[in-house]
Amino acid sequence: MTPQDPSNRAAAAPLQRELLQRVRGKEPAALEAFFDHFYDRIYGHVARLLQDAHQAEDLTHEIFLRLNRALDQLDPDRDPTGWVFTVATNCVRDHWRSRRHKETVRSTELTSDHLEVLPDETDHPEQQLARRQEQEAVRQAMAELSDSDREVIQLRDYEQLDSNAVAEIIGAKPEAVRQRHSRAVNRLGQAFRRYLDREERAET
């Protein structure tokens, strides 16, 4: 199974070159618009990778500090999305490498709207419950994956970036990204089914 974008978010309109030039020049109003444009996506990206909402807040702050310090690298003639996610992903990797214990208990208190499927008001209560149960199953399955698997699924499926963009972000070849993604989705499906089996046994 492949996770669906839980926010049902429409693709944001691309930032204009004129704004990006002002961002590169660190004009306050332009910086605010730039950071507002990316904040929700970056926070959601980091929260799903870390599986910890509180750590995600701290790390997202660090990511935007890094972006601010590196604005001389911003090319106004190119879509900055890949660059922004490269900085974010590298920051998450630094966080993973800095942990004293590689295997930590991941928080189950992921209550942010960035991580929830908002119910369709047209759904019946039973349908809304089923959607939330499926969301919880996907979240639990994602928590069982390795950092590497979660990273590629997050970029390909939640952020809907193509293999070329993901390859640039994580420093791999597109074919390697496609292979990693295929394996990661397969492992996610296995974890998803294990979670459902456990829930079914618990109810009997």
* Tens-place pLDDT, residues 99-153: 543 444 444 334 334 444 444 555 577 777 777 778 788 888 888 999 999 999 9
Instruction: List, in order of start, the domains of the chain with CATH numbers.
Output: 13-101 (1.10.1740.10), 123-204 (1.10.10.10)
pLDDT of residue 86: 95
Give the mean pLDDT of the chain: 83
Tell me the whole-structure pTM to 2 decimals: 0.71
The band of 66, judged by pLDDT with boundaries at 50, 70 and 90, is very high
Amino acid at position 122, single letter: T
Averaged pLDDT, 187-191: 92
The band of 30, judged by pLDDT with boundaries at 50, 70 and 90, is very high
Q: What is the SS3 assignment for 13?
A: coil
pLDDT of residue 123: 59
In percent, the amount of the chain with pLDDT more than 70 equals 81
The Cα 22–Cα 71 span in angstroms is: 10
Averaged pLDDT, 62-89: 95
Averaged pLDDT, 182-186: 94
Segment (H or E) for 59: helix 53-69
pLDDT of residue 127: 73
What length does the chain have? Answer: 204
Averaged pLDDT, 73-99: 91
The Cα 176–Cα 168 span in angstroms is: 12
Contact 36, 53 (CB under 8 A): no
CB neighbour class for 47 (10 Å; exposed up to 12, middle 13-18, buried from 19):
buried
In percent, the amount of the chain with pLDDT more than 90 equals 57
Averaged pLDDT, 4-20: 67
